Amino acid sequence: MGQTEIHTIPDGLPLPQRWVAMLAIAVSVGMTVLVGGVANVALPTMANDLHASPAESIWVVNAYQLAVTVTLLPFASLGDIYGHRRVYCWGLALFIVSSLACALAPNMTFLVAARVIQGFGGAGIMSVNGALVRFIFPRAQLGRGIGFNGLVVSGCSAAGPSVAAAIMAVTSWPWIFFVQVPLGLLAFVLSLRFLPRTPLAGAPFDPLSALLNALTFGLFITALDGVGRGQPALTIGLEFVVCVVIGFVFVRRQLGLRAPMLPVDLFANPVFALSSATAVCAHAAQVIAMVSLPFYFQYIEGLSPIDIGMLITPWPTMLVIMAPISGRLADRYNTGMLGGIGLAIMSAGLVLVLTMPAQAAHWNVAWRLAVCGLGFGCFQTPNNRLLIGSAPPNRAGAGSGILSTSRLLGQTTGSALVALVFGLTAGSVGLGTQISIGVAAAFAGVAMVLSSLRMGWR
């Protein structure tokens, strides 16, 4: 994390430095993805050991997610101003220290506080990792780099529950966080040595924008969470109104900045705006399906958690397979077309799930979910490539931040909608799941239309 940054860099890193740099990215990003999945599995044990209620233990997950969401764009802005490599390394350092704090937590309050700090570190990593990939790979091979990144994210997402189960089978839950320390140190050393220095935006950081950003997204997520948990309508409505008012002030302020934290100037580019909207809708569709289906399998089909995990595995498995393939295709063919085809396949897969017969054989469920995963895998890497590549080089952090923010907004919205649907169906899991999958198919269909509107851009 040196004191100077260079403003002119070559088109990508030479081999083999390119792949060592990607290894550093893979380890760091993999940890930020894994930590979500493994923490979910260990929640009951954490609550028991730390003498906390289930409701209190949920904040182990919520605190991390909220901290990441409200700081993604500020960290992306810092990356453009001070260098993506510098922000990335500071985020990684914070993630390592907070992981150790989580492992040593004496009580639930301390653990939640440590998870907030870990979320800040994770945001530092996630906000600029896409921007760094843009400078690691030559422009003509950017899809391969993003595809590799997608492979890591998909693989770690799929492996998260299994990794947690393996750790819990041989030792205690603190080791879920302990193991991140040596991995983080390895990634930190590689990052300092091999990650590229990147162009600077040459604009000052705006603390007021960071505050308005945190309030806007924090209130939005809190209101959505309230919808899912059945909070009073007046409270939810007030939160949404305040969110809209602060959001309006936030956006208006960005219009007068040379390098805005919320890149409203980049949204004037149709391909950037469409790619962001497509990402929100597609990730909402995926999360709606992945959250609602396990309830159906457990309460209607009577399957065990292990059986449910195995049954859902074809979806993330297809993501792992398709990430590098779609990355190479994105370097050669129209990304709007590739995304549209992928989302059409995903929509068809969700309709197939919706029309699935009751008590269907496991293979009859698995191939339908594999179709959904195939479609999402075809869409994800080309969309990410187009979104990041459409931002100017000195605003690559803004593009990377919007990419991560779009994903989180889609996931948060999808989870809240499932909770709302299940609440409105008065505990009818079968009906709730049917409606949820129908909503997911609708979101995927909208995403398909948005993606197809980008046919003129690569």
Dump pLDDT digits (tens) for 49-72. Answer: 888 776 677 778 778 888 888 898
Distance, CA of 228 to chain centre: 20
**Contact (CB, 8 A) for 327 and 145:** yes
**Contact (CB, 8 A) for 128 and 77:** no
User: Whole-prediction pTM value?
Assistant: 0.79
What is the structure's pLDDT at 35?
77
- Where in the chain are the domains? 8-202, 207-256, 266-458
Place of tokens 């819990």: 168
| Higher pLDDT, residue 226 or 345 | 345
What is the structure's pLDDT at 29?
86
Number of H helices, E strands in the chain: 17, 0
**Contact (CB, 8 A) for 306 and 364:** no
**What is the mean predicted confidence (pLDDT) over 101-116?**
92
Place of tokens 């939640």: 112
**What is the mean predicted confidence (pLDDT) over 385-410?**
81
Average pLDDT, the chain: 84
- Of the listed ranges 234-248, 269-283, 293-307, 394-408, the least confidently predicted one is 293-307
- Of the listed ranges 100-114, 292-306, 342-356, the least confidently predicted one is 292-306
**Contact (CB, 8 A) for 36 and 67:** no
What is the structure's pLDDT at 208?
93
What is the structure's pLDDT at 101?
95
- Of the listed ranges 13-22, 33-42, 149-158, the least confidently predicted one is 33-42
What is the structure's pLDDT at 453?
85
Q: Which long-range contacts (CB under 8 A, 24 or more apart) does 428-433 make?
A: 429/295, 429/296, 429/299, 429/300, 430/296, 430/300, 432/292, 432/295, 433/292, 433/293, 433/295, 433/296, 433/300
**What is the mean predicted confidence (pLDDT) over 270-289?**
90
Tokens of 211: 């505050």
| Higher pLDDT, residue 238 or 413 | 238
Task: For residue 376, name the pLDDT band (cuts at 50, 70, 90).
Answer: very high
Task: For residue 352, name the pLDDT band (cuts at 50, 70, 90).
Answer: very high
Q: Which superfamily is assigned to 8-202 in CATH?
A: MFS general substrate transporter like domains (1.20.1250.20)
- The C-alpha atoms of residue 331 and residue 71 are separated, in whole angstroms, by 31
**What is the mean predicted confidence (pLDDT) over 299-328?**
79
User: Taking 50 as the threshold, does the pLDDT of residue 344 lie above it?
Assistant: yes
- Of the listed ranges 21-30, 76-85, 165-174, 344-353, the least confidently predicted one is 165-174
**What is the mean predicted confidence (pLDDT) over 1-6?**
40
| Higher pLDDT, residue 180 or 324 | 180
For domain 266-458, give the CATH number: 1.20.1250.20
- The C-alpha atoms of residue 201 and residue 97 are separated, in whole angstroms, by 29
**Contact (CB, 8 A) for 345 and 375:** yes
User: Residue 69: enclosing H or E segment and its boundaries?
Assistant: helix 59-82
Of 29, 158, 144, 152, nearest to 381 (Cα)? 144
What is the structure's pLDDT at 306?
67
| Higher pLDDT, residue 186 or 414 | 186
**Contact (CB, 8 A) for 76 and 128:** yes
- SS3 letters for 267-290? HHCHHHHHHHHHHHHHHHHHHHHH
Residue type, 106: P
What is the structure's pLDDT at 247?
93
Cα separation of the two ends of the chain: 34
